Amino acid sequence: MAEKRIYLSSPTMHGEEQDFIKEAFDTNWVAPLGPNVNNFEKELAAYTGAGHAAALSAGTAAIHLALRILGIGEGDIVFAPSLTFSATCNPIVYEKATPVFIDSETDTWDMDPEALRRAFEKYPNPKAVIVVHLYGTPAKLQEIMEICREHQVPLIEDAAESLSSTYKGKHTGTFGKIGIYSFNGNKIITTSGGGMLVSEDEEITKKATFLATQARDAARYYQHSQIGYNYRMSNITAGIGRGQLLHIEEHKALKKAIYRQYKEAFADIEEIAMNPHNPDGDANCWLSCMTISRESAVSPDQVMDALAEANIESRPIWKPMHLQPVFAECDFITAHEGRDVAGDIFARGLCLPSDIKNTKADMEEIIQIVRNCFAK
């Protein structure tokens, strides 16, 4: 095993982060909230064109507050994609609502509009739809938004993986009634941990900020008329985010270059297909993923094991929610009976190392190990 560890997607710091953190220390703004929080909200809203933003402790917290703000409660149905990380769907259960999982389509791996239409036929009165831009690839937003408008149901955009991705020239996260971003350690930019809720409606972000600060009423004494949460981002964490945001386009360009290199390197191996991109969008290529054909004698586990032997990190595709034990009782809607696109992608796929600090030698080593798995 090589001494050097090659990571799936680790943080990349530049130096400006320390400047904002030092300013926070020098001015004693180390408590939750402060100038870095306020400015990070403004800067991210300006970058994405989101309108307004509320900086929070995690992307999961942002989804939870989005559901609270939309009035999701016990017994309500929320449509969500099955092929996603559990953080997309757990907040639905926090509010004692019921998730109904929607299958993927092969063009983008994102929510299938046809399956979404079938879900509305079976459950005509859901309270919200959550769409995810998986691995940074924009979903078929035009079709999904038309369906939501037709049924007058609000759309929440989980853009945790797709910050900087665009659909028809507009940033993901800015199409729905509420959008959310994540700054977890492996995302395209990081604050070590944190998230953002965005909306064109300033009242929504004000409500999110209120709920995220323990829902303290505007009174001289500590008064609370509803349940709140300790979900605000700290001023130190926001300082990291401000420094990172200065480099987001650089990070995106490097991520896209990694994807292109894999795609070119495996073009002659018929058994390998890279994760597809929406032609109407510009993906940030957060993680480069591949699937292996059903006819291949090679399995994703074999590829991941070969990489692991060389101290190289890879990862399975997200295990779909309809296959998770915790959601075993939830419904799963497909576009065609007996077809499970999300499950098939999970069974045949893996995430390749997508760290922007990978050297030329690193990429050559990764590619050669994968190619060797398919050598006849």
The structural domains of the chain, with segments of one domain joined by +, span 16-245, 248-373
What's the pTM? Answer: 0.96
What b/e string do you get for 136-153 counting C-beta neighbours within 10 Å, with b at 16 or more? Answer: bbbbbbebbbebbeeeeb
CATH of region 248-373: 3.90.1150.10
Give the tokens for residue 156: 């929440």
Q: Which residues pair with 144 in a beta bridge?
A: none
298 within 8 A of 270, measured Cβ to Cβ: no
- Which DSSP category does 283 fall into? -
- Supply the DSSP symbol for 81: E
Local structure of residue 56 (DSSP, 8 states): E
Domain 16-245 and domain 248-373, same fold? Reply is no
The edge-to-edge listing of strands for the beta sheet with 166-167 is: 170-171, 166-167, 281-282
Kindly state the tokens that stand for 325: 């034990």
Report the pLDDT value the prediction gives residue 32, as an integer from 0 to 100.
73
Q: Using CA atoms, how far apart are residues 365 and 162, in angstroms rounded to an integer?
A: 27
DSSP-assigned beta bridge partners for residue 81: 102
pLDDT at 3: 78
What stretches of 137-194 adopt beta strand conformation (E)? Answer: 155-158, 166-167, 170-171, 178-182
Predicted pLDDT at 1: 59
- Percent of the chain at pLDDT > 90 equals 96
For 16-245, give the CATH class.
alpha beta
Measured CA to CA, the distance from residue 33 to residue 238 in angstroms comes to: 9
d(CA 35, CA 43): 12
Q: State the pLDDT at residue 97.
A: 98
Q: Is the pLDDT of residue 366 over 80?
A: yes
Give residue-wise pLDDT tens across range 75-127: 999 999 999 999 999 999 999 999 999 999 999 999 999 999 999 999 999 99
pLDDT for 31 beyond 90: no
Return the pLDDT at 225. 95
- Written as one letter, the residue type at 165 is S
Query: For the segment 191-204, what is each residue's pLDDT rounded down to a tens digit?
Result: 999 999 999 999 99
Q: What is the pLDDT of residue 319?
A: 98
Helix axes 235-245, 35-48, angle to 10 degrees: 30
- Cβ neighbourhood burial of 359 (10 Å; 0-12, 13-18, 19+): exposed
Q: pLDDT at position 265, please?
A: 98
